[in-house]
Amino acid sequence: MNWLAHIFLSEQNIDFQLGNFLADPLKTRLWNHASKELKQGVRVHKIIDSFTDSNEIVIKSKKRLKNKGLLKAIVVDLTYDYLLTKNWQSFCNIPIDKFSYDFYMKANRRAIYFPLKANRLIKGLIKRDLLNKYQDLEHLKLAFQRVDLRLSNRVLARDTTISYYEHVCKNIDDLEEDFLEFFPLLCKVVKKELDSRKIEHWKI
């Protein structure tokens, strides 16, 4: 799952949400004296990734793409965030524009107290409005292209994210069916780790 899903799958506490976001770029290593909520966010991020990576439905989604490729996991992560955006009202009782705006406002205020690298990552997320980059398939295509800009020449010589776009479009209905089967299962697993009083934004 990508940024939008990780922040949604968090308690409504800004440190928890930021821990869930920062876990990947910081390789799950937080700074000394990081808050308990930040650490909880990182822990839940690991649970999300572990469940997703081993899930048979996600594996089925990967098989819907081209036969061989290094970047299938990234492509499915991004595509699932697009599908979460498309089906947002089925899972969240806060409109996505308000959900992302509230997160950005709180994250911007909180980031000034974090180390420089974490601060920059948060400011970059906000500046590029990365929670709202999946409104349609054309936006998903742009997201694939942005990933390729960050990949090394060595990886690009073997595979590119954008090369999957045609396969995603061709199989989008089946991928959406996969997502709608998978995401409630993921929510059920994550919910066991959360304080139910702090996930009132969830519909499920």
How high is the pLDDT of residue 68?
81
Average pLDDT, the chain: 95
Sequence ranges of the domains in the chain: 3-198
8 A C-beta contact, residue 164 and residue 65: yes
> What is the spatial distance between Cα 172 and Cα 83, in angstroms, rounded to a whole number?
9
Name which of 28, 48, 19, 24 is nearest 191 in CA terms.
48
Report the amino acid identity of residue 69: G
Write out pLDDT tens, residues 144-159.
999 999 999 999 999 9
Write out pLDDT tens, residues 34-85.
999 999 999 999 999 999 999 999 999 999 998 788 999 999 999 999 999 9
Contacts of 191 (CB under 8 A, 6+ apart): 199, 202
> What is the spatial distance between Cα 79 and Cα 176, in angstroms, rounded to a whole number?
9
The verdict on pTM exceeding 0.85 is: yes
Number of residues that make up the chain = 204
